[in-house]
């Protein structure tokens, strides 16, 4: 794999916490840091394929999404992208080969990030669900570990979502209808078309209605314990036993976080009567999903929505659900 160099200076790569033009709060936490779009454009190199064709860079992806958002929500206030990156890949220019690390000058170092996630909040488009304020949010993920950079350039993979950010806790609320986790394109223009297609097909009212419905159903302490136990058991079922059951995406550590926050979370813990409504349960799951790596975060987030919606369907229609019964 070869690299196209943009700028070797990597000073001030982390964005200031005082920057108020972006939406605040960490929508993902695991092994990530916040950076600016300017840093990605000016201080990072761009990986290329074996045939020396350039990848679509993180910065191009983010800028393309921002352009589509502004086009589709004209007249609305749009925040600057909130960008999180992980898995830094370091290098150095040829003239610095063999030079001791301590003697390297900033312009002799190269850097890029294998994975990047971002969200663009539209704060003027707010909704309220179960007394929680939500704002419309669009974003995406690029994970270069899912590309074969050692082959010739082919279609490149991107993930894009549209949903809501819970302003109480910065959790992202995403359904499978608002997520395209397998966009494959060969150009930025094709990427813009796919992003616009997802935004325009998003049924906001249906999504909000499903989230509001969650608050109407509760698990008592025994039901919660039973459901958590089944969630833990699911991780260890063999392939045959998993057949026909909801494909839960959470890992055991995240399920443990849900249990801890059932008791301790400031906003979504159990009630005084020790029960918990499904809206709060859902937010405990999305909070725990913040520990997922960038390349699996969106899918697990959407998976949490479908899981809790399935619980609500079973409770409303009194139908069988392996995690409840």
Question: Which helix or strand (DSSP H or E) is residue 219 part of?
Answer: strand 218-219
Tokens standing for 187? Answer: 């150009």
Model pLDDT for residues 232-262, shown as the tens digit of each residue: 999 999 999 999 999 999 999 999 999 999 9
The burial of 273, by beta-carbon neighbours within 10 Å (0-12 exposed, 13-18 middle, 19 or more buried), is given as exposed
User: Considering the entire predicted model, what is its pTM?
Assistant: 0.89
Q: Are residues 305 and 176 in contact, defined by beta-carbon separation less than 8 angstroms?
A: yes
Among 87, 89, 88, 92, CA closest to 109: 92
Q: In this predicted structure, what is the pLDDT of residue 21?
A: 62
C-alpha to C-alpha distance for 69 and 89, rounded to whole angstroms: 30
Q: If phi over 0 gives left and psi between -120 and 50 gives alpha, with beta otherwise, what is residue 23?
A: beta
Asked whether the beta carbons of 152 and 126 are under 8 A apart, the reply is no
Per-residue model confidence (pLDDT) at position 13? 44
Query: So where are the chain's domains?
Result: 3-202, 215-317
Is residue 14 predicted with pLDDT exceeding 80? no
The pLDDT of residue 211? 96
**Contacts of 110 by beta carbon, 8 Å cutoff, 6+ apart:** 3, 5, 8, 45, 90, 91, 92, 93
* Region at 47 (left for phi over 0; alpha for psi -120 to 50; beta for the rest): beta
The stretch 119-143 carries a mean pLDDT of 95
Mean per-residue pLDDT over the chain, rounded: 91
**Please, which pLDDT band fits residue 318 given cuts at 50, 70 and 90?**
very high
Percentage of the chain lying above the pLDDT 90 cut: 83
State mean pLDDT over 285-295.
94
Distance between CA atoms of 243 and 121, rounded to whole angstroms?
38
110 C-beta neighbours (distance < 10 Å), count: 20
Place of tokens 């982390």: 14
Asked which of 18-32, 173-187, 198-212 is least confident by mean pLDDT, the reply is 18-32
Residue 24's pLDDT is what? 67
* pLDDT tens-digit map of 43-101: 999 999 999 999 999 999 999 999 999 999 999 999 999 999 999 999 998 888 889 99
**pLDDT (mean) for 294-305:** 95
Q: Where are the alpha helices (DSSP H) in 43-113?
A: 58-72
Q: Which two tokens stand for residue 283?
A: 């937010």
Task: Spell out the alpha helix ranges (H) of the chain.
Answer: 37-42, 58-72, 188-201, 204-214, 221-234, 239-242, 252-264, 278-288, 294-317
CA dist 218 and 319 (Å) reads 16
- The sign of the CA dihedral 105, 107, 110, 111 is positive
pLDDT at residue 106, rounded to an integer: 86
């Amino acid at each position: 794999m070869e690299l196209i160099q943009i700028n070797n200076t990597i000073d001030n790569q982390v964005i200031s916490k005082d920057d108020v033009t972006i939406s605040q709060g960490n929508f993902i936490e695991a092994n990530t840091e916040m950076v600016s779009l300017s840093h990605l454009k000016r201080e990072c190199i761009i990986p290329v394929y074996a045939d020396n064709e350039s990848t679509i860079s993180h910065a191009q992806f983010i800028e393309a999404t921002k352009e589509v958002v502004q086009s589709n929500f004209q007249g609305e206030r749009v925040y600057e992208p909130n960008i999180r990156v992980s898995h830094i890949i370091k290098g150095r220019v040829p003239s610095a080969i063999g030079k001791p690390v301590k003697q390297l000058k900033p312009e002799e170092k190269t850097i890029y990030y294998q994975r990047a996630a971002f969200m663009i909040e539209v704060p003027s488009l707010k909704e309220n669900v179960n007394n929680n304020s939500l704002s419309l949010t669009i974003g995406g993920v690029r994970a270069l570990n899912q590309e074969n950079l050692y082959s010739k350039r082919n279609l490149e993979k991107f993930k894009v979502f549209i949903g809501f950010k819970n302003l109480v806790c910065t959790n992202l609320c995403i359904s499978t209808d608002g997520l395209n986790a397998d966009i494959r394109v060969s150009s930025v223009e094709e990427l813009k078309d796919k992003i616009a297609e997802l935004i325009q097909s998003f049924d906001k009212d249906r999504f909000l209605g499903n989230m509001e419905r969650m608050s109407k159903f509760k698990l008592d302490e025994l039901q919660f314990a039973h459901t958590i136990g089944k969630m833990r058991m699911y991780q260890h079922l063999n392939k045959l036993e998993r057949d026909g059951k909801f494909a839960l995406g959470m890992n055991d550590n995240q399920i443990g976080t849900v249990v801890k926050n059932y008791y301790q979370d400031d906003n979504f813990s159990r009630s005084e009567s020790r029960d918990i409504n499904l809206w709060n349960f859902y937010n405990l799951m999305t909070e725990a999903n913040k520990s997922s790596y960038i390349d699996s975060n969106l899918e697990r987030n959407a998976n949490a929505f479908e899981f809790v919606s399935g619980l609500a369907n079973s409770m409303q229609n009194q139908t069988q659900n392996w995690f409840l019964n």
